Homo-oligomer: A and B are copies of this chain.
Amino acid sequence: MVKDKPPEHPSKIPCQKARYRTETEWGALTRDEINLFDRDVVCKTYCSGETIFVEGDACKGLYFVEHGLVAVRKTEINGQSTIVRLAYQGDTLGYRPLLAKENHRATAEVINDTHICFINAKTMRHFLRSNPKLGMRFLEHTALALGQAEERMFQIAALSVRTRIIHLVVLLRDHYGTITSDGTLFVDLPMSQRDMADMIGARPESVSRALRDIQDDGLIHLSGHTVRVDRVDRLVEELHHH
């Protein structure tokens, strides 16, 4: 849900955490281009529940996730919606419509408070023309995303809700998991069960029940939004059977 808030005034101050950019596609930028980037970038912090852009919006440029978590969501006419992708720190949103010169085909919805750097389409196209490396980096990234999308498509199509939940927990482990000294894994689920349901193509009730079932089988232990996994191998093993 989008909360109605007075529009915040975007900051023109270049993000301080630009170091993240060097670890991503943006690492390909030259010094001059970085200056241009910093000149044109518009940064803004979004709170949980806000939308960055909405399905159907004109694509005005690229959104770089400096920090936070964003869900890319598609909504049907009848109101059903699915989260087709998550964007983490370092990810970039909106290059498909930018390249295709189309409108946005999905809504970007902030799950956790997120800091976004926006770079307008004109400048971005300039970068892509002048710096082939940048395009190559984006190509690699997009190819990777395509692989992940195909992976998820397969999961949604063929696996039970229970198994899809386990996949999701394992997926979220990369960004939201910590391992204690005794080997216990804790995953801090960053989203509601409703969002989890939208990610795996199921209903919230089914997610609730599946989580309980998995807990009853002793594979995980839930407290609030934190999942404790004592035996990660057992959890992963189940993915190989079902």
**Residues of A bordering B, CB below 8 Å:** 72, 74, 76-78, 80-82, 84-85, 95-96, 99-100, 105-106, 128, 132, 135-136, 138-140, 142-147, 149-154, 156-158, 200-201, 240-242
Residues of chain B within 8 A (CB-CB) of A136 are 128, 135
Residues of chain B within 8 A (CB-CB) of A96 are 143-144, 146-147
- Report 8 cross-chain contacts, Cβ distance below 8 Å, ordered by A residue: A77-B241, A82-B153, A82-B158, A85-B150, A105-B151, A128-B136, A132-B135, A152-B153
Assembled-state Cα–Cα distance A242/B79 (Å): 10
A142 to chain B minimum Cβ distance, whole angstroms, is 5
- In this complex, the member of A82, A99, A150, A157 whose beta carbon has the largest number of chain B beta carbons within 10 angstroms is A157
Chain A facing B: main interface SS = helix
Residues of chain B within 8 A (CB-CB) of A156 are 153, 156-157, 201
A57 to chain B minimum Cβ distance, whole angstroms, is 15
A111 to chain B minimum Cβ distance, whole angstroms, is 17
Assembled-state Cα–Cα distance A151/B106 (Å): 10
